[in-house]
Amino acid sequence: MADKEFLENAFPSLREDLVPIEKYSNLDPLIIPEGEVTVSSPLRTASDIDSQMQAVIQLLPDDDSDTQVVVGFDAKYNVEVSSRGHVSSRGHTAIIQIACSKNIFILQVGQMIAGGRLPSSLRNLLKNPRILKVGCCVSADLRYLEQCCSEPKGSFVSAVDLGKMAKEQLIVKRANVSLADLCASVLGKRLNKNVPERVSTSWEDEELSKEQITYAALDAYCALRIYEALMSIPLPTPLTSETPSETAVLLFGEDKSCLIARGSLSPLSNEPLFDGIHLTPTRCVIKVTDVYVPGAIISPHKKQLLSTFGSPPFHLVCLRSRICVSSEPPLAFTPSSTSHTLASNTVSTTSDPASSYEPVDDGDATAVGIGMLMLDTADSPQDHPVLSTSSNFEIDAESKAHGDRVLQEVVALPWLPHIRSRVLKDPFHLFAQIYISVSHGLRVDFCFALRDAIFLPDIQDKNRIKAWGSIQDPPVTFAYLMRTQPQWVLKRCKRIIPPPEQLYLPVEQVLRTYGPLKDAKTGLPLFNAAAWSSSQKVLEVIWKGFISDPPGIALYRELQPDVKAGGLPMYGCFRGTNFTEGGFHRHIIEHTPTHGVSVRHVHACLLDVVLVHNMRVGTYHSSGRPYQGHYSIWLTNELREVCLTLHSYGVIQDNYKPPDGWVNGNFYQPTTERLGILPLPQSTCEASGMLLYNPELHSSQMHWFIASLQNTQCPVLPIHNSAEETLFRQFMASHGGGTELLWQNIILAWNEIANNKKEILYELNEHLRLYYTGDWKRSLNVKQTLALTLAERKEVKQNLTSTARTKYLPAISQAPLVRHHVPQGLLELNTKTMS
């Protein structure tokens, strides 16, 4: 789904009439009240920003009072998303949003930060200790701005984290909650986050869209509203000797960090003894009405567990220092109507540092994506016996507990005819996200279970196949055919991927059930931490409706009936890119050389493969019949052009007609589309300081063929030789370690050098950043590790190279080089026949 925003921007109609699924969908959306709060147009210049920020600073009083100004604060930046849906990196801060009083300001500071500066009034506002900046993770945003602007650490002050504030007031259980969760818990409103702007690559654009402005303004406005609401909630106060009986109280654990129960101060506290326990001035008796942590130990009351007191209400003895007075029940422990959503809070799989499960490397030969397993098992199901039951397999308790923390309970909703998104994820890639062991005994059974959870067969087609199977000798069932000949069935049975309301629960059940099951031989569960994390991503995609078939859009067309199977209809499917991935990408390697040839050779082979594929598949899809003939379209065009010319002169019969369905490209302007290596846009070349391709340098240029296709003087390739590695090292030494601010400057300087040195090639910003985060940092780690372990390795290395090891080494024998000679077995020449 990494290209979702790009496609929707390119084709705005894809966003029409969408009903995206939002977390807390039962709540009304948070909106900025029109007429009461003003959202400014984006401020692009330093003077405009200074003017507005000066107005905010002017809200401070002139005297030395403790009055503070509170602003909602947030920042946006571009992100890069990997093909598997993970955010791989972030750019520098592009905009800052500030909500103050009745105004919301959108500050476009991307170019300023790239130059290592901020407008003076904005810096003053960030440094002012009497201006509170409230929001989620504000401290991290301020630290990042300090680094970008070369400010001393701690210069930007007065950050207020709403998550920590809400936890202290017992609104939420953990401090690292999202702004959307706080909005639902505190304001009772829904902050929409299932929008393309959330993970965007367009925040650095000069012109922000209306949707971007609204999204950004809402975050700052929401932060300010949450702060105001939290300030109106009274904080729990300590219990005093004057606190009257029946006062509502909260009971905390021994470490005072966790709320464990709620109740009221009991009149029995005035007695000298309760349940055989002396009531000293530091102890009291409370009546417990709600238990939040049954496993908590109450030390003053004979070290009993809360769970052993029975069902509330009950009385217990506790320390007065563990009690706070609160008239309101804590929201974090109160059943909320917001729980009835399609999916509850996402839990990060990295939150448990003690987990023994380690992510599986994608290159691990023992792990494979389910998508490839589906293809393999569909081709040869007999090689993988399917188990009818998994009851003999042991459940791995640790893996099950880990999965339970990752996958959340959901509530089934009705089948709704809404279009959630017109940019969908291909089911094949959804399967390929989860990597499991190729040797696990349940791998195939799990693949089939997940397949059946996602795809529902068409009832009419299923009944036709069942009827056909019942008259076979011997009879076969639909389930048997799906297990043994899935490809045959799927060509004759349409399938639908249901809406997320029906899809989420079955898939979640399959993942939760199969994940912790152990292999009978290795004793390892089917899922490790990496697979559980991928499962969470799969459920997130399903929950957002990015995998479900859009209602009202035909994804199948009927082909020729299968006369060998009683006339069962056969179908072609337009869903996803299965034909592209399985019928083309997967087989490219079979038709192109893998090594030992030039890029020009590979490019020519690729063009030929694409031509043949398009002729075959295009003809079949348009006519339902296979293509017949050769694949030289130029020869066919020329021959038909000659026939038309001869026909116009009367040389051939008058009733000549060109074949149906063939468009002669010689009569039309050639396409400008390119395949394979593409030319770089002129704007990219200009921004990166690249010169255009010069044919006069053709003979003396390295990789001239690549450069000609890219239309650049030098080819644009990642860092790949020692000269470029040395140059990169020099840039890192002279540009302060390659900070985010200087990449553009480095690119311009790099490409200027490439214009004069043959061994240095052009680079893009992305090339240098990827090299910096990949090979460069890995090499630093290697050098650091070598340096730290030098003493431990030195003696071993000396022993390995010591001459003592070769002192008594015998001479190594060597066979002499002998010319090949055939002494016998030669055929005799028949001189008579020759004569």
Per-residue 3-state assignment (H helix, E strand, C coil) for 212-258: HHHHHHHHHHHHHHHHHHHHCCCCCEECCCCCCCCCEEEEECCCCCC
Cα–Cα nearest to 352, from 195, 514, 532, 212: 532
Let me know whether 303 and 426 are in one domain.
no
Give the C-alpha separation, 473 to 485, whole Å: 16
pLDDT above 60: residue 415: no
Please report whether residue 158 resides in a domain: yes
Q: For residue 327, name the pLDDT band (cuts at 50, 70, 90).
A: low
Give residue 834's pLDDT.
Answer: 54
pLDDT above 50: residue 59: yes
Please report whether residue 336 resides in a domain: no
Tell me the two tokens of residue 358.
């380690």
Tell me the two tokens of residue 803.
């001459």
Mean of the per-residue pLDDT values of the chain: 80
Which comes out higher in pLDDT, residue 390 or 460? 460
Give residue 131's pLDDT.
Answer: 92
Type of residue numbered 11: F
Environment class of 157 (CB within 10 Å of its CB; exposed 0-12, middle 13-18, buried 19+): middle
Give the C-alpha separation, 726 to 732, whole Å: 10
Let me know whether 305 and 401 are in one domain.
no
Neighbours of 817 (CB within 10 A): 5
Give the C-alpha separation, 514 to 449, whole Å: 9
The least confident of 75-84, 149-158, 792-801 is 75-84
The least confident of 94-103, 167-176, 357-366 is 357-366
Q: For residue 738, name the pLDDT band (cuts at 50, 70, 90).
A: very low
Torsion on CA atoms 130, 131, 137, 140, rounded to nearest 10: -80
pLDDT above 90: residue 466: yes
Are 419 and 18 in contact, with CB atoms under 8 Å apart? yes
Instruction: Output b/e per residue, 24-41; b: 16+ Cβ within 10 A.
Output: bbebeebebeeeebebee
Q: For residue 658, name the pLDDT band (cuts at 50, 70, 90).
A: low
Type of residue numbered 286: I
pLDDT tens for 280-297 read 998 999 999 988 888 888
Cα–Cα nearest to 6, from 604, 15, 498: 15
Tell me the two tokens of residue 291.
């238990």
pLDDT tens for 221-272 read 999 999 999 888 877 888 888 888 889 898 988 777 778 888 999 999 989 9
Please report whether residue 606 resides in a domain: yes
Give residue 361's pLDDT.
Answer: 43
197, 231, 265 - which closes a domain: 231
Give the C-alpha separation, 203 to 213, whole Å: 10
Which residues are within 8 A (CB) of 344 and not within 5 positions of it... i.e. 6 or more apart? 408, 409, 410
Let me know whether 554 and 525 are in one domain.
yes
Give the C-alpha separation, 179 to 30, whole Å: 12
pLDDT above 80: residue 8: no
Let me know whether 406 and 448 are in one domain.
yes
Tell me the two tokens of residue 439.
């040797």
The least confident of 208-217, 322-331, 507-516, 744-753 is 322-331
Let me know whether 300 and 321 are in one domain.
yes
Let me know whether 386 and 516 are in one domain.
yes
Please report whether residue 361 resides in a domain: no
Helix (H/G/I), strand (E/B), else coil: 287: strand
Share of the chain above pLDDT 90, in %: 23
pLDDT tens for 444-454 read 889 889 999 99
Give the C-alpha separation, 83 to 425, whole Å: 11
Let me know whether 702 and 745 are in one domain.
yes
Looking at the DSSP bridge assignments, the partners of residue 159 are 133
Q: What is the mean pLDDT of residues 432-441?
A: 88
Let me know whether 619 and 649 are in one domain.
no
Which comes out higher in pLDDT, residue 363 or 324? 324
Q: What is the mean pLDDT of residues 46-63?
A: 87
Let me know whether 404 and 471 are in one domain.
yes
Which helix or strand (DSSP H or E) is residue 39 part of? Answer: strand 38-39
Q: For residue 357, name the pLDDT band (cuts at 50, 70, 90).
A: very low
Tell me the two tokens of residue 641.
């052009």
Tell me the two tokens of residue 461.
């087609």
Which comes out higher in pLDDT, residue 835 or 428? 428
Q: What is the mean pLDDT of residues 509-524?
A: 89
Which comes out higher in pLDDT, residue 513 or 552? 513
Give residue 492's pLDDT.
Answer: 93
Rg of the chain, C-alpha, whole Å: 35
Give residue 390's pLDDT.
Answer: 41
Are 484 and 381 in contact, with CB atoms under 8 Å apart? yes
Give residue 353's pLDDT.
Answer: 32
Residues making up the chain, counted from first to last: 835
Q: For residue 74, name the pLDDT band (cuts at 50, 70, 90).
A: very high
Give the C-alpha separation, 370 to 376, whole Å: 10
Please report whether residue 8 resides in a domain: no
Please report whether residue 512 resides in a domain: yes
pLDDT above 50: residue 340: no
* Strand ranges across the sheet with 248-252: 237-238, 323-325, 248-252, 259-265, 283-291, 314-319
The vertex-755 CA angle with 754 and 757, nearest 5°, equals 60
pLDDT above 50: residue 604: yes
Which helix or strand (DSSP H or E) is residue 607 part of? Answer: helix 599-623
Q: For residue 465, name the pLDDT band (cuts at 50, 70, 90).
A: very high
Which comes out higher in pLDDT, residue 65 or 775? 775
Which comes out higher in pLDDT, residue 276 or 669? 276
Q: For residue 734, name the pLDDT band (cuts at 50, 70, 90).
A: confident
Structural domains of the chain, count:
6
User: What are the backbone dihedrals phi and psi of residue 120, each rounded to the nearest 5 degrees, phi first?
Assistant: -60, -40
Are 665 and 633 in contact, with CB atoms under 8 Å apart? yes
Let me know whether 688 and 664 are in one domain.
no
Which residues are within 8 A (CB) of 769 and not within 5 positions of it... i.e. 6 or more apart? 89, 743
Type of residue numbered 439: S
Please report whether residue 546 resides in a domain: yes
Let me know whether 602 and 515 are in one domain.
no
Let me know whether 220 and 297 are in one domain.
no
Please report whether residue 358 resides in a domain: no
Kindly report the CATH number assigned to the domain that includes residue 155.
3.30.420.10
Residues of the domain holding 452:
367-576
Are 105 and 98 in contact, with CB atoms under 8 Å apart? yes
Give residue 376's pLDDT.
Answer: 53
Q: For residue 686, name the pLDDT band (cuts at 50, 70, 90).
A: very high
